[in-house]
């Protein structure tokens, strides 16, 4: 290779590196806001977490996603509720009839997954961030996953552009990763490095922001493995900025309007 060709070659390599660097920086300068248990923190939702009104408010506000928690009753009904028990009754051990009349903060009854997905269908642009709560054993969790898939199929929502999954159960994340490889599945536990999660067939992490601050390279390591990244539950302005600066893809928060303000302040694009 003569000097002239060498100069051209190295100029091309340098340009390619600069292009890749620009693209990487451009990708980092946008993020999606996930309303934690819906946009519940407003009068319109009656300040009721995991309510249908909170989902509707998140949809109407145009946030990228709305997160919700799902538990399974003893008779195989899926209900949208965060805790594993309702007034001391473990959801997994009692039939749906024990919970169907229980009122949440805004006067709604605990939504069934059917009711919730019917509202979810109305706004195709809002990602439904479906959290499967851990259950007692792998056999029960396998049934939970099967019912989840069946319900999404029934409502025409078994679509990776409409729904993604998160869970503290590593087992359910593995099963979902195997059964639905085209879907985003994020592990919530925070106790495993990205390479361990990816090796198990799980393509994303959704870790508490404190854990990510303790391991600031994990977001880049996840991205290097083509994994999606999320942080929960980030409610203070300084922590929101930290996560965006770290290059997080999505940020789950009880203060989605504040997160939107921070994105605007730092000149980042809000994913829609």
Q: What is the pLDDT along the chain (272 residues), one digit of tens a residue?
A: 454 444 444 444 444 444 444 344 444 699 999 999 999 999 999 999 999 999 999 999 999 999 999 999 999 999 999 999 999 999 999 999 999 999 999 999 999 999 999 999 999 999 999 999 999 999 999 999 999 999 999 999 999 999 999 999 999 999 999 999 999 999 999 999 999 999 999 999 999 999 999 999 999 999 999 999 999 999 999 999 999 999 999 999 999 999 999 999 999 999 99
- What is the distance between the alpha carbons of residues 229 and 83, in angstroms, rounded to a whole number? 24
- Interhelix angle 237-246/256-265, nearest 10 degrees: 60
- What is the distance between the alpha carbons of residues 39 and 261, in angstroms, rounded to a whole number? 15
- What is the distance between the alpha carbons of residues 168 and 189, in angstroms, rounded to a whole number? 5
Say what the alpha-carbon torsion angle 184, 186, 192, 194 is, to the nearest 10 degrees. Answer: 40
Range list of H helices, 155-255 = 170-179, 194-199, 209-214, 218-224, 237-246
- What is the distance between the alpha carbons of residues 70 and 133, in angstroms, rounded to a whole number? 6
Quick one: tokens of 225?
């493995």
DSSP character at residue 91: G
Contact at 8 Å (CB) between 80 and 112? yes
Quick one: tokens of 70?
């799902």
> Domain locations in the chain?
30-270
Contact at 8 Å (CB) between 185 and 204? yes
- With 0-12 CB in 10 A as exposed, 13-18 as middle and 19+ as buried, what is 10? exposed
Whether this prediction's pTM lies above 0.75 is answered by: yes
- What is the distance between the alpha carbons of residues 82 and 59, in angstroms, rounded to a whole number? 20
Report how far apart, in Å, the C-alpha atoms of 207 and of each of 28, 109, 230, 251, 271 are: 18, 30, 6, 10, 20
Among 3.40.190.10, 3.40.50.300, 2.60.40.790, 3.20.20.190, what is the CATH number of 30-270? 3.20.20.190
């Amino acid at each position: 290779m003569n000097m002239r060709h060498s100069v051209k070659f190295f100029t091309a390599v340098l340009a390619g590196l600069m292009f890749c660097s620009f693209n990487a920086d451009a990708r980092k300068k946008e993020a999606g806001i996930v309303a934690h248990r819906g946009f519940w923190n407003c009068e319109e939702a009656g300040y009721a977490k995991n309510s249908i009104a909170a989902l509707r408010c998140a949809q109407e506000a145009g946030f990228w996603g709305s997160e919700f928690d799902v538990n399974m009753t003893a008779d195989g009904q899926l209900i949208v509720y965060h805790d594993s028990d309702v007034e001391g009754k473990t959801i997994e051990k009692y039939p749906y009839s024990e919970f169907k009349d229980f009122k949440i903060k805004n006067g709604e009854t605990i939504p069934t997954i059917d009711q919730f997905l019917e509202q979810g269908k109305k706004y195709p642009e809002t990602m439904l961030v479906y959290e499967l709560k851990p259950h007692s054993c792998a056999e029960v969790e396998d049934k939970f996953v099967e019912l989840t898939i069946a319900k999404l199929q029934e409502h025409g929502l078994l679509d990776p552009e409409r729904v993604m999954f998160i869970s503290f159960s590593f087992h359910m994340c593995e099963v979902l990763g195997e059964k639905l490889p085209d879907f985003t599945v994020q592990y919530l536990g925070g106790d495993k490095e990205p390479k361990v999660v990816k090796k198990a067939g799980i393509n994303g992490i959704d870790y508490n922001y404190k854990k990510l601050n303790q391991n600031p390279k994990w977001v880049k390591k996840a991205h290097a493995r083509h994994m999606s990244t999320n942080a929960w539950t980030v409610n203070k302005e300084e922590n929101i900025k930290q996560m965006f600066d770290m290059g997080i893809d999505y940020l789950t928060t009880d203060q989605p309007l504040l997160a939107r303000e921070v994105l605007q302040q730092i000149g980042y694009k809000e994913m829609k």
